[in-house]
Amino acid sequence: MIYNPSCSQEQLEKKFKKLRKLNYNAFRWWRMYDDPKPLLPKQSPLLDKIKNGDFNYSHYNYQAMWCEHEMNKVHDKFGFEDMGRYVAETSLLRSRRKRLLEDHYKEEDNRLESITIELSKAFRITKDKVKTLMEEFDGTLEELYIHLQQKYPYNKFYLPKSLKHLQSRYD
């Protein structure tokens, strides 16, 4: 085997059942599935976005693993004896995998940056503090939100009436 994906094909098929199969698109031909749930608008409360799955793990990595399984099947068929045939047979799969991984890394970076910004705005703490808390916290994103809500209750949504006049200084 050339590739060693972390998920089996059965596990990937279960994950793909939750996704929507895409029709062929000439501009994004490498994508096979998409998330059926749309992202919530920016004005939505952060907890609702978290519950909706707006910051969940990107499904593009699972699609790349599927390509790795397919390339392993081609390798089992031809082996190292006919490497030229293997390269010819897997050229499309290798291109698809490369683009899916690029999409995965781009989307993961965007999601991590946006959740960091959202949490820092919601709880009035620095982005560096949020990153440190995210690294140290052992739990789900929803549990992190609840933990931060208990630890930093004096944000703009939970500011006591006696301190409302201070809010304008920070807006």
pLDDT at 158: 52
pLDDT at 133: 93
pLDDT at 80: 79
pTM for this predicted structure: 0.80
Q: For residues 63 and 100, give the distance between their C-alpha atoms in angstroms, rounded to a whole number.
A: 7
Let me know: does 29 contact 41? Beta carbons within 8 Å.
no
Residue 70 gets which letter from DSSP? H
For residue 16, list its beta bridge partners.
Answer: none
What pLDDT, in 10s, does the model give residues 64-74?
999 999 999 99
pLDDT at 103: 96
What b-and-e string marks burial along 104-131, b requiring 16 or more CB atoms within 10 Å of the CB?
beeeeeeeeeebbebbbebbebeeeebe
pLDDT at 157: 55
pLDDT at 119: 93
C-alpha 51 chain-centroid distance: 14
**Residues in the chain, pLDDT under 50:** 159, 163, 166-167, 169-171
- At 33, which helix (H) or strand (E)? strand 33-34
